[in-house]
Structure 1
Amino acid sequence: TELPHESLGYPDPRGLPRLRTALAELLARRRGVVADPERIMVVSGVAQATSLLASVLHARGTRTAGVEDPGSPQHHALYAAAGLGTVPLSLDDEGLATGPLYASGVRLVVTTPAHQFPTGIAYSARRRAELLDWARSVDGLVLEDDYDGDFRYDRAPVGALQGLDPERVAYTGSVSKSLAPGLRLGWLLVPDWLADDVVERKRTTDLGHPALDQALFARFVERGDYDRQLRVCQRAYRERRDALVAALAEHFPGARVTGIAAGLHAIATLPGRHGPEERFLARVTEAGIAVRPLSAYGPGGAAGARAQEVRLVLGYAHLSPGRIRAGVARMAQAV
């Protein structure tokens, strides 16, 4: 009832101007993004942002994309659907290793530099600069997936890589971790040299994102409700992280827990007496506990593991502290 009649026609494929303006202010303030509303596109989550960008680059001759190893298992299918192959690229303690990156020959690489998924590494300042140097030297592009950039607990926020070179970095994020993944609402910022092609691909894909969803979210951001929601999430996620760390210390003495200064998951390395991994997973599955090993996130997830060690990726954001404690206790009983 509040919207003018024309707002319910076919929307601008970039998104409602009101929402793009609100997002530009939000992302510049919270993530250090260079955010011109004209370069922001409202999309149905990071998956669509990835697909749109991959399709446009495929039309321009790109055939492969570099992906972090270990990394998101979804990347391979998303790029394959756009006609691109994927090249796994290894990590070191500072982030994406530059040697294999240069040797790969790719000109598109997908990264999670603020909090690498799933290892939890925050790319060092040196590695971030080296990554941008690579992009300039090969006339390439970095896709920055800022999937949990708003959630930092024990360290200062890490600004977005895009803010250092907006013409070599495309930036994407969503409300999946702050509101709900089922809303299918996200954003994509692209360099000027790609903007027109990506907008046209969005238009031909779905004629634009739903106008009511955009108008509602714009009001939510403008009134400060989204900032308040992020603060609520920050407190809840920190409490759940602390519950997970304490439960692991109680039930798995000697476990190493890493990647916990930020984000929504942790890497737990359990002592050798709990292995081998296959037997451990079979026992906890039988006990009704769903966990995924680090090795499930690519060949790099198995690299460096010691004999009999079990390394798990444990997500805690969607579970209450009580359920986290009960789950870790049941997992310990099972093994």
Structure 2
Amino acid sequence: MTDSWAAFGADLHIEPVGSGLRSGLMHALREAVRTGRLTPGTRLPSSRTLAADLGIARNTVADAYAELVAEGWLTARQGSGTRVAQRAAAPGTASRSPRTRPVRRRPAHNLMPGSPDLSAFPRAEWIKAARRALVAAPDAAFGYDDPRGRIELRTALADYLARARGVYADPERIIVCSGFVHGLTLMGKVLRRHGARGTAVESYGLDIHWNLLAGEGLGTPCIPVDRLGARTGALEGMPGVGAVLLTPAHQFPTGVPLHPDRRAAAVDWARSSGGLILEDDYDGEFRYDRQPVGALQGLDPERVVYMGTASKSLAPGLRLAWMVLPEGLVAEVCEAKGGFDWMSAVPDQLTLAEFMRSGAYDRHVRAMRLRYRRRRDQLVGELAERAPDVRVSGIAAGLHAVVELPEGTEQSVVQAATWQGLALERLTRFRHPGADPVPDGLVVGYGTPSESGWAGALEALCRVLP
């Protein structure tokens, strides 16, 4: 029991300076508080624990604490321990604190695209799944494992994707990764190894994807997007392009599905050129007015890399995504993954596997599909009544809509939204640098607000539209 103190209390890195231990300890503590390293409310170790850590007498620490309490640097209450006191910042000191950051005002209403309703995350069901999964998991699951991911999750994904998305999904061909961007980074590395000079992208999309591919040394020429989706016939005239990144189920941000003829044209190009299609199954599970559009991968599993994620169906904070690969690419992608990120967190993989196997994932997706459809209908109805000069498109599926504005009004609408405390994104934000100019419009993420915040966000949007 001589070392029982080592199991209690919080760690505190502190280095007493000066000739006297007590004065040196007091100076070090003052500096830690003054610079912001110890923030107000931080609980300090007991005098016994800190004395043992520093190898000094307990009375020395107790005396130092008592004097700093008297000076107002610390507080001490029975049952609450010793804590850093709340202090008003001295004039001119805020800019010197390493923790000080400019205060950025959070908008009152958020209609930014790209996020689900985070308040709807199924916490109770997730906790139940986590408990069952962790109890059943073998000890070996928590060691260094297969870079493809846990077999439990890959098996659950194979079953779900085949049933719900029409994907040819063998667990041996699935790789779990930490988000879509992680998977795209891996594919960029593999494409460069294969000698590709470029990856074609859609003329509307996310610059983070274009910049990521460019960072891997790949050009990103764009193919036009119209009311039928990406004009994939343009791929035939792009020499050096080894792959194309498509959002066929629900193009981002226009919201149109890829026409069957253009799906076939993309697959024909991949077969004849030896290229790959990188299929981003964006919002594929959320459809409202049409039959579900199956994954493009089902047309040719050896020429399409299917890429999915839990970011929209559950939450982006889970950092769980997956790729279903052509058989010949599995080893190469595993090698690329092992080079800088061997495996994704096991507990969340096991939990998602159990969440899917139990049917909770299907129930959650169906419930959210109803919620988002109701919001979509309310959005369309309110805009038709209160802003008849605007047109809403891309609404058959997904978590966002495109609000097409009269020419020349986009800038004024966005400015008015800022004054109303409403966060939204303009359509021009998603135009590829090589694409033709796009019409004025907004990309409205109706999936983003919480249930309690949705009505206010919709009202704010209606107030700023022409």
TM-score normalised by the shorter chain: which range applies? over 0.9
1:128 aligns with 2:258: no
User: In structure 2, what is the equivalent of residue 139 of structure 1?
Assistant: 274
User: In structure 1, what is the equivalent of residue 386 of structure 2?
Assistant: 251
Corresponding residue to 2:347 among 212, 218, 221: 212
CA distance in 2, matches of 1:57, 1:7: 31
Once the two structures are superposed, what CA deviation does each residue of 1:95-120 show, in whole Å capped at 9, x if it has no partner? 22134322222121000001111111
Contact 1:115 1:148 in 2 (8 A): yes
Alignment of 1:20-31 (within 5 A): 20-31=154-165
CA distance in 2, matches of 1:107, 1:215: 35
Corresponding residue to 2:421 among 288, 291, 301: 288
CA distance in 2, matches of 1:146, 1:87: 21
Letter of the 1:330 counterpart: A
> CA 1:26 to 1:333, structure 2 compared with 1: closer, same or farther past 3 Å?
closer
1:276 aligns with 2:406: no
Moved more, 72-81 or 294-303: 294-303
User: In structure 2, what is the equivalent of residue 175 of structure 1?
Assistant: 310
Once the two structures are superposed, what CA deviation does each residue of 1:262-281 show, in whole Å capped at 9, x if it has no partner? 01110111345xx4322222
* TM-score under structure 1 length normalisation: 0.93
Moved more, 319-328 or 115-124: 319-328
Once the two structures are superposed, what CA deviation does each residue of 1:146-203 show, in whole Å capped at 9, x if it has no partner? 0211111000000000001001100011110111001000110111121110011112
> CA 1:241 to 1:322, structure 2 compared with 1: closer, same or farther past 3 Å?
farther
Once the two structures are superposed, what CA deviation does each residue of 1:68-108 show, in whole Å capped at 9, x if it has no partner? 01112221122123222211211233222134322222121
User: In structure 2, what is the equivalent of residue 11 of structure 1?
Assistant: 145
1:226 aligns with 2:361: yes
SS in 2 for 1:85: coil
Contact 2:389 2:406 in 1 (8 A): yes
Contact 2:392 2:403 in 1 (8 A): yes
Corresponding residue to 1:265 among 400, 410, 416: 400
Letter of the 1:88 counterpart: C
Offset at residue 304 of structure 1 (A): 5.7
Contact 1:295 1:302 in 2 (8 A): no
Larger of the two Rg values belongs to structure: 2
CA RMSD of aligned residues (A): 1.8
Offset at residue 287 of structure 1 (A): 2.0
CA distance in 2, matches of 1:239, 1:294: 24
User: In structure 1, what is the equivalent of residue 197 of structure 2?
Assistant: 63
Contact 2:222 2:435 in 1 (8 A): no
User: Please, which runs of 5 or more residues in structure 2 have no aligned partner?
Assistant: 1-134
Moved more, 149-158 or 56-65: 56-65
User: In structure 2, what is the equivalent of residue 37 of structure 1?
Assistant: 171
Corresponding residue to 1:241 among 351, 369, 376: 376
Contact 1:248 1:328 in 2 (8 A): no
CA distance in 2, matches of 1:66, 1:235: 35
CA distance in 2, matches of 1:97, 1:163: 20
CA distance in 2, matches of 1:94, 1:2: 48
Letter of the 2:314 counterpart: L
Contact 2:426 2:442 in 1 (8 A): yes
Corresponding residue to 2:249 among 92, 107, 114: 114
Contact 2:150 2:350 in 1 (8 A): yes
User: Please, which runs of 5 or more residues in structure 1 have no aligned partner?
Assistant: none
Offset at residue 332 of structure 1 (A): 4.1
CA distance in 1, matches of 2:427, 2:250: 16
> CA 1:93 to 1:331, structure 2 compared with 1: closer, same or farther past 3 Å?
closer
CA distance in 2, matches of 1:57, 1:213: 29
CA distance in 1, matches of 2:156, 2:238: 39
SS in 1 for 2:401: strand
